[in-house]
Amino acid sequence: MEREEILSAIYHCAKCKLCSIASFHPSEEWLPLCPSGEFYGYQAFYAPGKLEIFREILEGELSEPSEGLLKAVYSCTLCGACYEKCKQITSVEIRLPELFEELREEMVKKGWALNVHKDIAKKIKETRNAYGEKYKYEAESTDRNADVLYYIGCTARYRVPEIADAMLQIFDKFGIKYQVMDDEWCCGSVLLRTGQVEEAKELMEHNVEEIKRSGAKTVVFTCPGCLMTFEKNYPDMGVELVHSTQFLTRLKGMKVKKLDMEVAYHDPCHLGRDLGIYEEPRAVLKEVANVKEMKREREQAWCCGSGGGVKSAFDEFALWSAVERIKEAKEAGAEALVSACPFCKRNLREAAEKEGKGMKVYDVVELVNRSLEE
């Protein structure tokens, strides 16, 4: 974005702070929407506060970042809830998450990146995955000319492999031939979200080349963060990019045995607000479990708290946000919280374990795999 465009967007913000509240007028209930503002409690942690920080940097009023300023900028999960709410009430599109990414890019240029994020960039450079793992997640292509390629992503490969395992088993159960990349590199999402744009370029070039060489026509993602990055940051590769839940809705003759389970569906921010995919996960989930809706859902869903580089930098806050979501699922009468994102699952599961109140956490593909009749 050009400087003038950014400043114009910043000056359009009326600082009303209505973007921090989810409204449910039928019950006259107001619930918080901005995790970072709610947790830290200062103006700088809400969307208008961060816009003001950005303005001060651009207009030369701020030359040294305090610890508090760094925290305000980097504790934003880039969940986009503020953007959706602002658009709903003002009909003006102040593209807040994009502005906050621009702000971080500007901060990185000034040498104000967080050390923990620089460490992730270093790990990616050394190992090509965001966790610095040296081993390989074991997966083999069933056909090297298959039309379908499954891009697994760092989190499903190294932190929640049960999601990748379930996806691969679903392909097998349907007799769908697939490819996985021999040399899959991190998609670059964490670097782009934390302002380290230059560091992401090599990764994107590698993945584009590998996918083009595979000849695949459809790339399936279980990670909405990877999918969004390919959709918004990668050049057009001439292939179809789909989320696992979209792919599943196309499979005809899915013989599933409905599980006797009351679940709540948690909209992942990148899948819902960023990509507009709200219906497919619900449609798939309804086939395999009894779905309860939580109060804050779809455009006004409460973020799990782990995106935008927050999990690595401010874990206590990330887990607090996830605990809030677990409480909401409990209130809705659910015994399990189901998402469609490895990053959400990891954070929600950790929070559930910490909270110790027995909430189970799954990804949609895990329940589908479990309910598919052999």
CB 189 to ligand SF4: min, Å: 15
Strand 29-32 relative to strand 21-24: parallel, antiparallel, unpaired?
A: antiparallel
DSSP element (H, E) containing 337: strand 336-339
- Return the CA Rg of the chain: 20
Does 96 sit near ligand SF4 (CB under 6 A)? yes
Give the span between the Cα atoms of 241 and 341, in whole angstroms: 16
72, 86, 148, 288: which one binds ligand SF4 (CB under 6 A): 86
Q: Which of residues 291-350 bind ligand SF4 (CB under 6 A)?
A: 303
Give the interface segment with ligand SF4, choosing from 34-42, 52-60, 162-170, 329-337 (CB under 6 A): 34-42
* Burial environment of residue 295 by CB neighbours within 10 A (0 to 12, 13 to 18, 19 or more): middle
Tell me which residue of 41, 52, 40 sits closest to 14, measured CA to CA.
52
Q: Least distance in Å: CB of 287 to ligand SF4?
A: 31
Q: Are 297 and 269 in contact (CB under 8 A)?
A: no
Cβ 284 to ligand SF4, closest distance in Å?
Answer: 26
Nearest CA among 189, 191, 70 for reference residue 122: 191
Q: Based on the shown chain and the rule CB under 6 A, indicate whether residue 36 belongs to the binding site for ligand SF4.
A: yes
Judged by CB under 6 A, which stretch of 93-101, 127-135, 246-254, 324-332 contacts ligand SF4? Answer: 93-101
- Give the C-alpha distances (Å, rounded to integers) separating 246 from 182, 219, 303, 364: 25, 11, 21, 11
Candidate segments 30-38, 246-254, 258-266, 345-353, binder of ligand SF4 by CB under 6 A: 30-38
CB-nearer residue toward ligand SF4: 97 or 272: 97
Please, which residue, 16 or 116, has the CB nearer to ligand SF4?
16
Q: Using CB under 6 A, which of 80, 195, 224, 281 touches ligand SF4?
A: 80
Q: Which two tokens stand for residue 88?
A: 């709903």
Window contacting ligand SF4 (CB under 6 A); options: 70-78, 156-164, 212-220, 346-354: 70-78
Q: What is the smallest separation between the CB atom of 58 and ligand SF4, expressed in angstroms? A: 17
Residue 48, interface with ligand SF4 (CB under 6 A)? Answer: yes
Buried b (16+ CB within 10 A) or exposed e, 133-146: eeeebebebbeeeb
Tell me if 13 contacts ligand SF4 by CB under 6 A.
yes
Tell which phi-psi region holds residue 292, choosing left (phi > 0), alpha (psi between -120 and 50) or beta: beta
Residue showing tokens 């292509």: 141
Indicate whether 88 belongs to the interface with ligand SF4 (CB under 6 A).
no
Nearer residue to ligand SF4 within complex by CB, 77 or 141: 77
| Residues of this chain that bind ligand SF4 (CB under 6 A) | 13-19, 33-37, 46-48, 76-82, 86, 90, 94, 96-97, 303
